[in-house]
Amino acid sequence: MTYEVVFLIITYMKEFECKGCGTFVCVPADKNKSPVCPECRGVMLLIGNSGGQADLKEFVCSECEGVFFMQKDKLPYKCAFCNYTFSTSPRLKQQERL
């Protein structure tokens, strides 16, 4: 059933590390597209699989709806999957139209 699919997505992620700046990114394992570095647009290396880490923060791109995770003290500059630029101000979220 769909419940099991959702469970797998949440608990199984691929871990990537940027060759250039060392930024750590996790993406759901069902995502076939490899991410590019959200900080420097560099190539990301697959370093392993994880069951999810507690200190990661989820980011969702409003352009391509891609989901990726970064360490919670980091903020992405660009989407890991497209050319969308994230705002550095969280307050702008409140201004989105319904």
List residues binding Zn ion (CB under 5 A).
18, 20-21, 23, 37, 39-40, 42, 61, 63-64, 66, 79, 81-82, 84
CB of 93 to Zn ion, least distance (A): 16
Report the alpha-carbon distance of residue 89 to residue 2 in Å, rounded.
35
CB of 55 to Zn ion, least distance (A): 19
CB of 29 to Zn ion, least distance (A): 18
